Amino acid sequence: MKKMVIWPVNLAAGRTKREGRIVARRYAIKSPKVEEISSVAQELHLEPEVEKEKAYPKSPWDRSGRVLVLKRGSKGEIVRAIANRLRAQREKAKSGGR
């Protein structure tokens, strides 16, 4: 099955669409990390592969890494699902895991 690339910038609340954010602002995450994206992708059975030393093409000085996941649907759907799950995890951790 084909793989697709998910960059942290695709989920970043601090970025504009022009800078690489894919999801709507209401779904965006503050400072997403490749480790978080990878763990959520694992939960979604997307078989993630982390490449930590990669840099997003529009910001080659920032080696934030990237995550390769199985292409099961459109990129927008997958990124939104990852963002929603990641947001839920952060809210759960913030509230003390209740």
What is the four-CA torsion angle of 21, 27, 30, 31, rounded to 10 degrees?
Answer: -50
Residue located via tokens 């697709």: 4
What are the pLDDT digits (tens) for 51-89?
999 999 999 999 999 999 999 999 999 999 999 999 999
Distances (CA, A) of 10 to 16, 26, 51, 92, 97: 10, 13, 15, 22, 27
Answer yes or no: pTM beyond 0.85: yes
pLDDT of res. 97: 64
